[in-house]
């Protein structure tokens, strides 16, 4: 494996300047052991970083400042200076400044990702209102990356250990959800999830559960018609090429732990999937954009203006997003290598079967 893949260059966008993004980055990258796994590049400015470093006196954070990608230091955290001017940082306040510089950081980081200067990107939280501009007219990171990389569709996939929850609809008002529950949309999401589970998570034959839209998954048409007219026929169609099951009633599905029997779950809308996911992930969930030609992850929470600048933000989800980014990069490399040399895959399976047989013999 090349050094680029052993220690990939990972970018970090700073998020809203007045949120907890920079604090999460400093806390995460203060652990010097991460430098054994990757080369970090933070897209912000020295002055912004130093502002937040003062509120974290116990952090062991050292860095080198760069303005060109050929100056990246593989032995240190790198701060790529996206801007040089003085910026009025006001932690906890929702204002134009926070959104303006969040966008500058995101744009530079995304361009670096597209051009191959970095191999993966971890995005700190933005505020969906104050980042809006002529160049950013999206409801969040996911549609922004979909448009930037010009792909037909993506899936917002929430990940925590072996639990993965994807969404048919993301930031859509409740009254408009049913308009987006179509055969085409559900089938597209299922295909992307199935491919991502194979390529990004190393699961040969993924099992995907599909939730119903209505209470009790429609109760055979008594509570809404979407399950009978749309969701069930799509599941039957998808079974021609994938292992897809459902539709399941969302409340009982999570309450009874049925999600543990599947490699991923496709929820119909945002809160249906994210409320149980965040309750079960306990602060260590990761948001991954499946379906992109690049790897982008983020923590599963927002800007947290209420605690910004106080030094007590929990960076568990951000650290998990960093590790997930690294793991997906490695899984993608392994998948591509297997496709190029199928004999390696066959040998790996034969070895695994031999080990299983030996274990059975010993147990016998």
Indicate the domain borders of the chain: 7-151+292-364, 152-286
SS3 content of the chain, % helix, strand, coil (to 5): 45, 15, 35
Per-residue pLDDT of the chain (364 residues; tens, 9 = 90+): 455 567 999 999 999 999 999 999 999 999 989 999 999 999 999 999 999 998 888 888 889 999 999 999 999 999 999 999 999 999 999 999 999 999 999 999 999 999 999 999 999 999 999 999 998 999 999 999 999 999 999 999 999 988 999 999 999 999 999 999 999 999 999 999 999 999 999 999 999 999 999 988 867 777 889 989 999 999 999 999 999 999 999 989 999 999 999 999 999 999 999 999 999 998 889 999 999 999 999 999 999 999 999 999 999 999 999 999 999 999 999 887 777 665 555 555 555 455 555 545 544 4
CA 254 to chain centroid, in Å, comes to: 21
Tokens of 89: 């940082």
Q: Where are the alpha helices (DSSP H) in the chain?
A: 3-6, 21-29, 46-53, 96-115, 141-148, 183-199, 226, 232-238, 250-255, 270-281, 316-340, 342-363
If phi over 0 gives left and psi between -120 and 50 gives alpha, with beta otherwise, what is residue 49? alpha
Specify the pTM.
0.89
Q: What pLDDT score does 345 carry?
A: 52
Q: Find, among 286, 349, 19, 320, the residue nearest to 158 by Cα.
A: 286
Strand order in 77-81's β-sheet? Answer: 63-66, 77-81, 39-44, 9-13, 120-123, 296-299, 286-290, 155-160, 163-167, 264-267, 207-211, 243-248
Q: How far apart are CA 189 and CA 268, in angstroms?
A: 10
Element (H, E) at 167: strand 163-167
The CATH code belonging to domain 152-286 is: 3.40.718.10
Q: What pLDDT score does 162 carry?
A: 85
| Cα 134 to Cα 100, 103, 131, 145, 287, distances in angstroms | 11, 11, 10, 16, 26
Q: What pLDDT score does 364 carry?
A: 46
Say which residues have a Cβ less than 8 Å from residue 92's Cβ, sequence separation at least 6.
18, 305, 306, 307, 308, 309
Q: Which CATH topology does 7-151+292-364 take?
A: Isopropylmalate Dehydrogenase (3.40.718)
């Amino acid at each position: 494996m090349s050094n680029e893949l052993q220690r990939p260059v990972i970018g970090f966008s700073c998020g809203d300047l007045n949120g907890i993004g920079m604090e999460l980055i400093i806390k995460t990258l203060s652990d010097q052991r991460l430098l054994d796994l990757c080369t970090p590049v933070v897209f912000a400015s020295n002055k912004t970083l130093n502002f937040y470093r003062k509120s974290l006196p116990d952090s062991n954070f050292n860095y080198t400042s760069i303005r060109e990608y050929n100056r990246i230091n593989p032995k240190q955290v790198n701060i790529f200076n996206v801007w040089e001017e003085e910026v009025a940082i006001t932690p906890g306040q929702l204002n134009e400044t926070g959104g303006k510089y969040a966008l500058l950081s995101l744009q530079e980081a995304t361009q670096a990702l597209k051009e191959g200067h970095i191999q993966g990107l971890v995005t700190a939280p933005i505020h969906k209102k104050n980042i809006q501009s002529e160049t950013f007219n999206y409801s969040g990171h996911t549609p922004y990356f979909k448009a930037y990389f010009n792909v037909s569709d993506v899936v917002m996939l929430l990940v925590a250990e072996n639990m993965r929850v994807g969404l048919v609809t993301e930031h859509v008002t409740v009254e408009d959800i049913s308009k987006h529950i179509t055969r085409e949309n559900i089938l597209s999401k299922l295909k992307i999830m199935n491919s991502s589970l194979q390529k990004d998570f190393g699961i040969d034959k993924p099992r995907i559960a599909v939730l119903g839209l209505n209470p009790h998954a429609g109760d055979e048409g008594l509570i809404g018609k979407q399950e009978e007219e749309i969701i069930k026929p799509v599941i039957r169609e998808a079974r021609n090429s994938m292992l897809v099951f459902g539709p399941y009633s969302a409340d009982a599905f999570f309450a009874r732990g049925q999600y543990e029997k599947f490699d991923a779950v496709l929820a119909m809308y945002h809160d249906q999937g994210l409320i149980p996911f965040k309750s079960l992930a306990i602060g260590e969930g990761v948001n991954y954009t499946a379906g992109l030609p690049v790897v982008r992850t983020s923590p599963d929470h927002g800007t947290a203006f209420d605690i910004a600048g106080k030094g007590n933000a929990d960076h568990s989800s951000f650290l998990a997003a960093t590790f997930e980014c690294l793991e997906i990069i490695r899984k993608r490399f392994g998948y591509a290598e297997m496709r190029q040399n199928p004999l390696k895959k066959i040998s790996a399976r034969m070895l695994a079967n031999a080990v299983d047989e030996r274990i059975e013999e010993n147990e016998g």
